[in-house]
Protein backbone atom coordinates (compact mmCIF):
# COMPACT_ATOMS: atom_id res chain seq x y z
CA UNK A 1 0.00 0.00 0.00
CA UNK A 2 1.21 3.50 -0.74
CA UNK A 3 -0.15 6.26 1.42
CA UNK A 4 0.29 10.01 1.49
CA UNK A 5 0.04 12.31 4.45
CA UNK A 6 -3.44 13.75 4.85
CA UNK A 7 -6.85 12.57 3.74
CA UNK A 8 -5.95 11.54 0.17
CA UNK A 9 -5.56 7.81 -0.40
CA UNK A 10 -4.02 6.63 -3.67
CA UNK A 11 -5.12 3.14 -4.68
CA UNK A 12 -3.08 1.80 -7.59
CA UNK A 13 -3.85 -1.92 -7.65
CA UNK A 14 -6.89 -4.13 -7.22
CA UNK A 15 -5.04 -5.99 -4.46
CA UNK A 16 -4.59 -2.72 -2.56
CA UNK A 17 -8.29 -1.90 -3.01
CA UNK A 18 -9.37 -5.33 -1.75
CA UNK A 19 -6.98 -5.18 1.22
CA UNK A 20 -8.26 -1.79 2.32
CA UNK A 21 -11.90 -2.90 2.11
CA UNK A 22 -11.07 -6.13 3.96
CA UNK A 23 -9.44 -4.01 6.68
CA UNK A 24 -12.73 -2.20 7.24
CA UNK A 25 -12.64 0.82 4.92
CA UNK A 26 -16.17 1.76 3.92
CA UNK A 27 -16.03 5.51 3.13
CA UNK A 28 -14.06 6.35 -0.01
CA UNK A 29 -14.14 10.14 0.19
CA UNK A 30 -10.66 11.34 -0.78
CA UNK A 31 -9.72 8.08 -2.47
CA UNK A 32 -8.06 8.23 -5.88
CA UNK A 33 -8.49 4.87 -7.61
CA UNK A 34 -6.14 4.80 -10.56
CA UNK A 35 -6.42 2.59 -13.67
CA UNK A 36 -7.99 -0.36 -11.82
CA UNK A 37 -9.91 -3.18 -13.45
CA UNK A 38 -12.98 -3.28 -11.19
CA UNK A 39 -15.10 -5.51 -13.37
CA UNK A 40 -16.80 -8.06 -11.17
CA UNK A 41 -16.46 -5.85 -8.08
CA UNK A 42 -20.05 -4.57 -8.24
CA UNK A 43 -21.20 -6.29 -5.05
CA UNK A 44 -18.35 -4.70 -3.10
CA UNK A 45 -18.75 -1.27 -4.68
CA UNK A 46 -22.42 -1.16 -3.71
CA UNK A 47 -21.53 -1.62 -0.02
CA UNK A 48 -19.21 1.40 -0.03
CA UNK A 49 -19.91 5.12 0.39
CA UNK A 50 -18.22 6.37 -2.79
CA UNK A 51 -19.19 10.05 -2.54
CA UNK A 52 -16.07 12.17 -3.13
CA UNK A 53 -13.99 9.35 -4.59
CA UNK A 54 -12.16 9.75 -7.91
CA UNK A 55 -12.14 6.82 -10.31
CA UNK A 56 -9.38 7.63 -12.80
CA UNK A 57 -9.48 5.48 -15.92
CA UNK A 58 -10.92 2.51 -14.05
CA UNK A 59 -12.70 -0.26 -15.94
CA UNK A 60 -16.10 -1.14 -14.46
CA UNK A 61 -19.18 -2.99 -15.55
CA UNK A 62 -21.59 -0.40 -17.04
CA UNK A 63 -24.14 -0.76 -14.26
CA UNK A 64 -21.45 -0.30 -11.61
CA UNK A 65 -20.08 2.80 -13.29
CA UNK A 66 -23.57 4.28 -13.43
CA UNK A 67 -24.08 3.41 -9.77
CA UNK A 68 -20.90 5.06 -8.46
CA UNK A 69 -21.63 8.19 -10.50
CA UNK A 70 -25.16 8.37 -9.10
CA UNK A 71 -23.83 8.06 -5.56
CA UNK A 72 -21.43 11.01 -5.81
CA UNK A 73 -18.18 9.65 -7.21
CA UNK A 74 -16.26 11.42 -9.97
CA UNK A 75 -15.46 9.07 -12.85
CA UNK A 76 -12.79 10.06 -15.37
CA UNK A 77 -13.22 7.66 -18.29
CA UNK A 78 -10.52 6.28 -20.56
CA UNK A 79 -9.90 8.51 -23.59
CA UNK A 80 -10.87 6.30 -26.56
CA UNK A 81 -8.45 5.35 -29.31
CA UNK A 82 -5.21 5.92 -27.41
CA UNK A 83 -2.31 3.43 -27.26
CA UNK A 84 -1.29 4.67 -23.78
CA UNK A 85 -2.91 4.29 -20.40
CA UNK A 86 -3.43 7.94 -19.50
CA UNK A 87 -3.96 7.06 -15.84
CA UNK A 88 -1.14 4.54 -15.43
CA UNK A 89 0.10 4.22 -11.86
CA UNK A 90 3.64 3.06 -12.59
CA UNK A 91 6.62 4.02 -14.69
CA UNK A 92 7.52 2.08 -17.81
CA UNK A 93 10.13 -0.64 -18.08
CA UNK A 94 12.41 -1.09 -21.09
CA UNK A 95 10.82 -4.48 -21.71
CA UNK A 96 7.39 -2.84 -21.91
CA UNK A 97 8.49 -0.13 -24.33
CA UNK A 98 10.38 -2.60 -26.53
CA UNK A 99 7.69 -5.28 -26.59
CA UNK A 100 7.35 -6.43 -30.21
CA UNK A 101 10.94 -5.57 -31.18
CA UNK A 102 11.39 -8.97 -32.83
CA UNK A 103 8.97 -7.76 -35.54
CA UNK A 104 10.83 -4.49 -36.09
CA UNK A 105 11.06 -1.27 -34.11
CA UNK A 106 7.89 0.07 -35.74
CA UNK A 107 5.99 -2.76 -34.00
CA UNK A 108 7.11 -1.77 -30.48
CA UNK A 109 4.96 0.06 -27.98
CA UNK A 110 7.47 2.91 -28.04
CA UNK A 111 7.28 3.42 -31.81
CA UNK A 112 3.50 3.01 -31.98
CA UNK A 113 2.95 5.62 -29.28
CA UNK A 114 5.25 8.04 -31.09
CA UNK A 115 3.39 7.50 -34.38
CA UNK A 116 0.07 8.13 -32.60
CA UNK A 117 1.44 11.33 -31.03
CA UNK A 118 2.27 12.73 -34.49
CA UNK A 119 -1.37 12.82 -35.59
CA UNK A 120 -2.95 16.21 -36.26
CA UNK A 121 -3.72 17.90 -32.96
CA UNK A 122 -7.17 17.29 -31.54
CA UNK A 123 -8.77 17.69 -28.14
CA UNK A 124 -8.79 13.94 -27.57
CA UNK A 125 -5.09 13.66 -28.44
CA UNK A 126 -3.86 16.53 -26.29
CA UNK A 127 -6.12 15.59 -23.38
CA UNK A 128 -4.86 11.99 -23.36
CA UNK A 129 -1.26 13.20 -23.50
CA UNK A 130 -1.73 15.72 -20.68
CA UNK A 131 -3.42 13.13 -18.46
CA UNK A 132 -0.65 10.64 -19.24
CA UNK A 133 2.14 13.09 -18.34
CA UNK A 134 0.33 13.99 -15.11
CA UNK A 135 0.23 10.30 -14.17
CA UNK A 136 3.94 9.91 -15.05
CA UNK A 137 4.71 12.93 -12.85
CA UNK A 138 3.06 11.24 -9.90
CA UNK A 139 4.77 7.89 -10.52
CA UNK A 140 8.20 9.49 -11.00
CA UNK A 141 8.00 11.55 -7.82
CA UNK A 142 7.01 8.40 -5.94
CA UNK A 143 9.95 6.49 -7.46
CA UNK A 144 12.38 9.26 -6.46
CA UNK A 145 10.97 9.63 -2.96
CA UNK A 146 13.47 8.94 -0.14
CA UNK A 147 16.31 8.51 -2.64
CA UNK A 148 19.39 10.62 -3.23
CA UNK A 149 18.97 11.18 -6.95
CA UNK A 150 21.82 12.54 -9.05
CA UNK A 151 21.20 13.70 -12.60
CA UNK A 152 23.70 12.92 -15.35
CA UNK A 153 23.34 15.07 -18.47
CA UNK A 154 25.37 14.67 -21.63
CA UNK A 155 25.42 14.42 -25.39
CA UNK A 156 23.11 12.02 -27.20
CA UNK A 157 25.64 11.70 -30.01
CA UNK A 158 28.26 9.88 -27.93
CA UNK A 159 28.67 6.48 -29.58
CA UNK A 160 29.25 3.12 -27.95
CA UNK A 161 32.89 2.10 -27.99
CA UNK A 162 34.18 5.67 -27.61
CA UNK A 163 36.28 6.92 -24.70
CA UNK A 164 33.47 9.33 -23.79
CA UNK A 165 30.94 6.50 -23.59
CA UNK A 166 33.23 4.40 -21.41
CA UNK A 167 33.90 7.34 -19.07
CA UNK A 168 30.17 8.02 -18.65
CA UNK A 169 29.55 4.34 -17.89
CA UNK A 170 32.27 4.26 -15.24
CA UNK A 171 30.82 7.45 -13.73
CA UNK A 172 27.34 5.89 -13.52
CA UNK A 173 28.81 2.84 -11.79
CA UNK A 174 30.72 4.90 -9.21
CA UNK A 175 27.74 7.11 -8.42
CA UNK A 176 25.49 4.09 -7.94
CA UNK A 177 28.07 2.37 -5.71
CA UNK A 178 28.15 5.55 -3.60
CA UNK A 179 24.48 5.05 -2.79
CA UNK A 180 23.10 7.55 -5.29
CA UNK A 181 20.29 6.84 -7.74
CA UNK A 182 21.37 7.84 -11.24
CA UNK A 183 18.78 9.67 -13.35
CA UNK A 184 19.35 10.60 -16.99
CA UNK A 185 17.37 11.87 -19.93
CA UNK A 186 16.82 8.21 -20.80
CA UNK A 187 18.09 8.40 -24.36
CA UNK A 188 21.17 7.17 -26.22
CA UNK A 189 24.76 8.40 -25.96
CA UNK A 190 26.12 9.57 -22.61
CA UNK A 191 22.69 9.05 -21.07
CA UNK A 192 22.66 5.37 -22.00
CA UNK A 193 26.23 4.96 -20.78
CA UNK A 194 25.45 6.40 -17.34
CA UNK A 195 22.40 4.15 -16.98
CA UNK A 196 24.51 1.18 -18.11
CA UNK A 197 27.15 1.90 -15.47
CA UNK A 198 24.51 2.22 -12.77
CA UNK A 199 22.84 -1.00 -13.91
CA UNK A 200 26.11 -2.97 -13.63
CA UNK A 201 27.37 -1.22 -10.48
CA UNK A 202 26.87 -4.37 -8.42
CA UNK A 203 28.94 -6.41 -10.85
CA UNK A 204 32.68 -6.60 -11.32
CA UNK A 205 34.65 -4.13 -13.47
CA UNK A 206 35.31 -7.07 -15.81
CA UNK A 207 31.57 -7.48 -16.35
CA UNK A 208 31.26 -3.80 -17.25
CA UNK A 209 34.16 -4.16 -19.67
CA UNK A 210 32.45 -7.17 -21.23
CA UNK A 211 29.21 -5.24 -21.65
CA UNK A 212 31.05 -2.30 -23.21
CA UNK A 213 32.75 -4.64 -25.69
CA UNK A 214 29.43 -6.25 -26.60
CA UNK A 215 27.73 -2.89 -27.13
CA UNK A 216 30.61 -1.49 -29.20
CA UNK A 217 29.65 -3.84 -32.03
CA UNK A 218 26.53 -1.67 -32.53
CA UNK A 219 27.78 1.89 -32.00
CA UNK A 220 24.55 3.77 -32.72
CA UNK A 221 20.81 3.32 -33.13
CA UNK A 222 21.27 4.48 -36.72
CA UNK A 223 20.79 2.74 -39.08
CA UNK A 224 19.13 -0.06 -37.08
CA UNK A 225 17.22 0.50 -33.84
CA UNK A 226 16.47 -3.25 -33.49
CA UNK A 227 20.17 -4.13 -33.61
CA UNK A 228 21.08 -1.29 -31.21
CA UNK A 229 18.31 -2.09 -28.73
CA UNK A 230 18.84 -5.83 -29.19
CA UNK A 231 22.48 -5.52 -28.10
CA UNK A 232 21.38 -3.69 -24.96
CA UNK A 233 18.73 -6.28 -24.16
CA UNK A 234 21.38 -8.98 -24.61
CA UNK A 235 23.44 -7.22 -21.92
CA UNK A 236 20.51 -7.15 -19.49
CA UNK A 237 19.83 -10.81 -20.26
CA UNK A 238 23.45 -11.84 -19.73
CA UNK A 239 23.77 -9.78 -16.55
CA UNK A 240 20.26 -9.73 -15.01
CA UNK A 241 19.13 -8.08 -11.77
CA UNK A 242 21.03 -4.84 -12.29
CA UNK A 243 20.89 -1.91 -9.90
CA UNK A 244 18.06 0.58 -10.23
CA UNK A 245 18.32 3.84 -12.10
CA UNK A 246 15.89 6.25 -13.72
CA UNK A 247 15.46 7.37 -17.32
CA UNK A 248 13.32 10.39 -18.22
CA UNK A 249 13.01 10.48 -22.04
CA UNK A 250 10.39 12.05 -24.27
CA UNK A 251 8.38 11.15 -27.35
CA UNK A 252 9.06 14.73 -28.51
CA UNK A 253 12.33 13.36 -29.88
CA UNK A 254 10.76 10.37 -31.55
CA UNK A 255 13.80 9.62 -33.68
CA UNK A 256 15.75 8.81 -30.49
CA UNK A 257 14.74 5.50 -28.89
CA UNK A 258 15.00 5.09 -25.12
CA UNK A 259 17.93 3.19 -23.69
CA UNK A 260 17.31 -0.21 -22.12
CA UNK A 261 19.45 0.22 -18.99
CA UNK A 262 17.26 2.54 -16.91
CA UNK A 263 15.21 0.11 -14.84
CA UNK A 264 12.34 2.61 -14.52
CA UNK A 265 11.42 4.89 -17.42
CA UNK A 266 9.35 8.05 -17.05
CA UNK A 267 8.57 8.79 -20.69
CA UNK A 268 6.75 12.05 -21.36
CA UNK A 269 5.04 13.65 -24.33
CA UNK A 270 5.88 17.22 -23.26
CA UNK A 271 9.62 17.80 -23.41
CA UNK A 272 9.56 20.98 -21.32
CA UNK A 273 7.75 19.18 -18.49
CA UNK A 274 10.18 16.27 -18.70
CA UNK A 275 13.24 18.53 -18.44
CA UNK A 276 11.86 20.46 -15.47
CA UNK A 277 10.89 17.31 -13.56
CA UNK A 278 14.25 15.65 -14.21
CA UNK A 279 16.04 18.59 -12.59
CA UNK A 280 13.47 18.71 -9.79
CA UNK A 281 14.15 15.14 -8.66
CA UNK A 282 17.96 15.52 -8.85
CA UNK A 283 18.25 16.70 -5.26
CA UNK A 284 21.78 15.25 -4.82
CA UNK A 285 23.12 17.31 -7.72
CA UNK A 286 23.60 17.24 -11.47
CA UNK A 287 26.65 16.21 -13.48
CA UNK A 288 27.06 17.86 -16.88
CA UNK A 289 29.18 15.84 -19.27
CA UNK A 290 30.29 17.45 -22.55
CA UNK A 291 27.25 18.05 -24.72
CA UNK A 292 25.71 20.52 -27.13
CA UNK A 293 22.56 22.65 -27.18
CA UNK A 294 20.36 20.35 -25.09
CA UNK A 295 22.97 19.94 -22.36
CA UNK A 296 23.64 23.69 -22.31
CA UNK A 297 19.92 24.37 -21.96
CA UNK A 298 19.70 21.95 -19.03
CA UNK A 299 22.79 23.48 -17.44
CA UNK A 300 21.35 26.98 -17.32
CA UNK A 301 17.88 25.75 -16.41
CA UNK A 302 19.49 24.11 -13.38
CA UNK A 303 21.53 27.24 -12.72
CA UNK A 304 18.34 29.31 -12.69
CA UNK A 305 16.80 26.97 -10.11
CA UNK A 306 19.89 27.26 -7.90
CA UNK A 307 20.18 31.03 -8.41
CA UNK A 308 16.79 31.63 -6.80
CA UNK A 309 16.85 28.69 -4.39
CA UNK A 310 16.95 28.96 -0.63
CA UNK A 311 20.50 28.34 0.63
CA UNK A 312 19.42 25.01 2.10
CA UNK A 313 18.00 23.82 -1.22
CA UNK A 314 20.91 24.43 -3.59
CA UNK A 315 21.98 21.24 -5.37
CA UNK A 316 25.59 20.78 -6.58
CA UNK A 317 26.43 21.33 -10.23
CA UNK A 318 29.51 19.56 -11.59
CA UNK A 319 30.75 20.34 -15.10
CA UNK A 320 33.10 17.68 -16.51
CA UNK A 321 35.64 18.69 -19.14
CA UNK A 322 37.58 21.93 -18.65
CA UNK A 323 38.40 22.34 -22.33
CA UNK A 324 34.79 21.77 -23.39
CA UNK A 325 33.16 24.11 -20.88
CA UNK A 326 35.76 26.93 -21.03
CA UNK A 327 36.71 26.94 -24.74
CA UNK A 328 34.49 24.75 -26.96
CA UNK A 329 31.25 25.91 -25.34
CA UNK A 330 32.38 28.46 -22.71
CA UNK A 331 29.46 28.10 -20.31
CA UNK A 332 31.69 27.94 -17.22
CA UNK A 333 32.65 31.66 -17.11
CA UNK A 334 28.99 32.68 -17.36
CA UNK A 335 27.99 30.16 -14.70
CA UNK A 336 30.72 31.51 -12.41
CA UNK A 337 29.49 35.06 -12.95
CA UNK A 338 25.91 34.05 -12.14
CA UNK A 339 27.00 32.23 -9.01
CA UNK A 340 29.22 35.02 -7.70
CA UNK A 341 27.87 36.34 -4.41
CA UNK A 342 24.99 33.87 -4.37
CA UNK A 343 24.43 30.91 -2.06
CA UNK A 344 25.05 28.63 -5.05
CA UNK A 345 28.65 29.80 -5.44
CA UNK A 346 30.38 27.02 -3.42
CA UNK A 347 28.22 24.40 -5.10
CA UNK A 348 29.34 24.86 -8.71
CA UNK A 349 32.38 22.86 -9.79
CA UNK A 350 34.50 22.36 -12.89
CA UNK A 351 36.60 19.18 -13.10
CA UNK A 352 38.78 17.60 -15.74
CA UNK A 353 37.69 14.00 -15.38
CA UNK A 354 34.71 11.90 -14.26
CA UNK A 355 36.87 10.34 -11.55
CA UNK A 356 36.72 13.66 -9.67
CA UNK A 357 32.91 13.68 -9.49
CA UNK A 358 31.94 11.12 -6.80
CA UNK A 359 34.02 12.79 -4.08
CA UNK A 360 32.29 16.12 -4.72
CA UNK A 361 28.79 14.68 -4.57
CA UNK A 362 29.56 12.54 -1.51
CA UNK A 363 30.16 15.63 0.65
- Cα 120 to Cα 136: distance, rounded to the nearest angstrom: 23
Q: At 206, which helix (H) or strand (E)?
A: helix 205-216
pLDDT at position 230 is 97
Distances (CA, A) of 1 to 16, 20, 22, 264, 297: 6, 9, 13, 19, 38
Q: With cut-offs at 50, 70 and 90, classify the pLDDT of residue 363.
A: low
pLDDT (0 to 100) of residue 6: 47
pLDDT on residue 11:
96
Cβ pair 68, 53 in contact under 8 A: yes
Please list, residue by residue across 42-51, b when 16 or more beta carbons sit within 10 angstroms of its beta carbon and e when fewer do: eeebeebebe
- How sure is the predictor about 8, in pLDDT bands with cuts at 50, 70 and 90? confident
User: pLDDT tens for residues 161-218?
Assistant: 999 999 999 999 999 999 999 999 999 999 999 999 999 999 999 999 999 999 999 9
Distance CA 14, CA 17 (A): 5
Examine the pLDDT at 262 and tell me if it is beyond 60: yes
Q: Would you state the pLDDT for residue 84?
A: 94
Tell me the average pLDDT of the chain.
95
> For 280-291, how does the pLDDT look when each residue is reduced to its tens digit (9 = 90+)?
999 999 999 999
User: Per-residue pLDDT averaged across 5-12, rounded?
Assistant: 77
Q: Tell me, what's the pLDDT at 362?
A: 79
Q: Report the distance separating Cα 101 and Cα 313, nearest Å.
A: 43
**What pLDDT score does 327 carry?**
97
Among 282, 279, 248, CA closest to 263: 248
The pLDDT confidence band at residue 304, using thresholds 50, 70 and 90, is very high
Amino acid sequence: MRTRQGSTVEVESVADFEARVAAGASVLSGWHLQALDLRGQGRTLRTLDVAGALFLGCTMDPADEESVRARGALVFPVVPGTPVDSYRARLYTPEELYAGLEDGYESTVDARVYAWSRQPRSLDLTLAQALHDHAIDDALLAAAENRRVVGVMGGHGVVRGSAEYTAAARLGAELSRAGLTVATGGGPGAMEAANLGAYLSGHSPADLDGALDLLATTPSFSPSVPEWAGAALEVTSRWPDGAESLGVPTWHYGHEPPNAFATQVAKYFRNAVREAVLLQIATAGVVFLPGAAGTVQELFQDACENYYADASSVAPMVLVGREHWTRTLPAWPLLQSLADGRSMSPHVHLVDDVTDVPAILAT
